[in-house]
């Protein structure tokens, strides 16, 4: 029971409920307290996002240089390909389903917006970012790639220390304050009369994403089963312990021992499993990109923001890279994605808050999808690596 109460999902759920109650029944001055906090926290997030991008991406890319070899490149290519496949599958599915599914909500949201009561903060403080998001991304890639080829570098130690600081900021400051931030957003929406419309949208989106992630797992194991010439149903069923463990832990890293054991039961060699599973726990994000792509599109449709394939193609390619190493941090994937959402899709503070709430609500399922897909990648890498060894006479 204590574990449930201390979980981020439970805290976000309580924050949403309290936000609705406060917005409906508490006076304006009381709700303006949360509006003031959100104004300050939003500024702090804008300041921290470029630093988060650099702190997560630079060491993730530079660490790839430590494990040179074909297996690393092969695993990274397959994992990134799987992540992109998930993103584009989600785009095409959501772009065909969401406009009709959310049409009624768009009209209702427009009517509410015309008569909305807006909460204003008592005061606001501007905290300018030291570097903009796109500059942070490019700089992270340049430094990360440069360090990947340096065997000994003092800058690597600096980057490693910077990563530790950023993780501490996320774990000790941002994540603990997120429920309060979400409470403020839902209090504002409840006060303005939008909240029940948004909650109805939440349920529709979550249902579609859950169906998509089951379909993705089936496709991954059909492909892997075809390559290794094994029954995909049996392979997928063998990975269910890892799936359900991830549902409970909400962490790809914490599930590694179970994922390793089940991958080996599927016939993956111990050497390949020991390399691929831990690596994929960091770089394979098919479930995470699915949630973020679908939720982003839904919010853009609700806000009547224009989008097209070219916009989301760039977003998906960038997101697949920006989230690397983020699964090791609680809520890291959505934190790493915020900068890309702002820079490439034009998300504002309220939309970011809704994205965080939606993401956390589905965090267990996204993690379970990531972890279970790792087993499929291990099967393919084991097959290819085994054939190369035979050809080379090893």
For the chain, give the mean pLDDT.
Answer: 80
pLDDT digits (tens, 9 = 90+) for 376-390: 999 998 888 765 544
CA–CA separation, 189 and 299 (whole Å) = 14
Give the model's pLDDT for residue 329: 53
pLDDT band per the 50, 70, 90 thresholds, residue 85 = very high
Assess contact for 358 and 202: CB atoms under 8 A.
yes
What's the whole-number mean pLDDT along residues 105-111?
A: 53
Lowest-pLDDT range, 2-11, 121-130, 197-206, 339-348?
2-11
CA–CA separation, 182 and 237 (whole Å) = 37
pLDDT digits (tens, 9 = 90+) for 304-320: 888 889 999 999 998 88
Give the model's pLDDT for residue 111: 46
Of 360 and 250, more confident: 360
Rounded to two decimals, the pTM is 0.72
Residue 71 has pLDDT above 80, yes or no: no
Residue 193 has pLDDT above 80, yes or no: no
CA–CA separation, 164 and 142 (whole Å) = 20
CA–CA separation, 259 and 371 (whole Å) = 7
Residue 27 has pLDDT above 90, yes or no: no
Give the model's pLDDT for residue 271: 81
Assess contact for 318 and 137: CB atoms under 8 A.
yes
């Amino acid at each position: 029971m204590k574990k449930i109460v201390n979980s981020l999902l439970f805290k976000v759920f309580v924050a949403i409920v309290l936000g609705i109650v406060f917005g409906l029944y508490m006076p304006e001055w009381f709700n303006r307290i949360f509006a003031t906090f959100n104004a300050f926290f939003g500024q702090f997030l804008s300041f921290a996002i470029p630093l988060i991008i650099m702190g997560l991406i630079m060491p993730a890319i530079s660490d790839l240089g430590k494990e040179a070899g074909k297996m690393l490149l092969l695993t990274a290519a397959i994992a990134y390909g799987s992540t992109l496949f998930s993103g584009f599958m989600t785009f095409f599915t959501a772009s065909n389903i969401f406009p009709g599914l959310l049409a009624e909500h768009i009209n209702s949201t427009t009517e509410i917006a015309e008569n909305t009561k807006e909460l204003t903060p008592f005061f606001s403080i501007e905290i300018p970012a030291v570097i903009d998001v796109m500059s942070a991304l490019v700089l992270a890639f340049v430094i990360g790639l440069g360090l990947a080829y340096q065997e000994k570098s003092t800058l690597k130690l600096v980057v490693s220390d910077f990563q530790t600081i950023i993780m501490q900021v996320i774990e000790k400051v941002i994540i603990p304050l997120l429920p309060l931030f979400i409470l403020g957003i839902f209090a504002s929406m409840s006060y303005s009369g939008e909240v029940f419309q948004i909650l109805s949208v939440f349920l529709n989106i979550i249902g579609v994403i859950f169906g998509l992630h089951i379909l993705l797992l089936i496709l991954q194991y059909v492909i892997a089963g075809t390559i290794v010439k094994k029954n995909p149903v049996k392979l997928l069923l063998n990975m269910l312990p890892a799936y359900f463990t991830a549902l409970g832990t909400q962490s790809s890293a914490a599930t590694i021992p179970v994922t390793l054991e089940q991958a080996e039961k599927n016939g993956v060699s111990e050497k390949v499993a020991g390399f691929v599973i831990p690596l994929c726990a960091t770089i394979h994000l098919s479930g995470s990109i699915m949630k973020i792509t679908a939720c982003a599109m839904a919010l853009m449709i609700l806000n009547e923001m224009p989008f097209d394939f070219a916009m989301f193609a760039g977003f998906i390619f960038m997101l697949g890279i920006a989230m690397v190493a983020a699964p090791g941090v609680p809520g890291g994937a959505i934190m790493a994605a915020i900068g890309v959402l702002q820079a490439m899709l034009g998300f504002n503070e309220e939309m970011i808050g809704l994205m965080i709430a939606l993401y956390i609500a589905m965090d267990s399922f996204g993690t379970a999808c990531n972890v279970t897909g790792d087993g499929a990648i291990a099967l393919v890498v084991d097959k290819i690596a085994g054939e190369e060894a035979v050809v080379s006479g090893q």
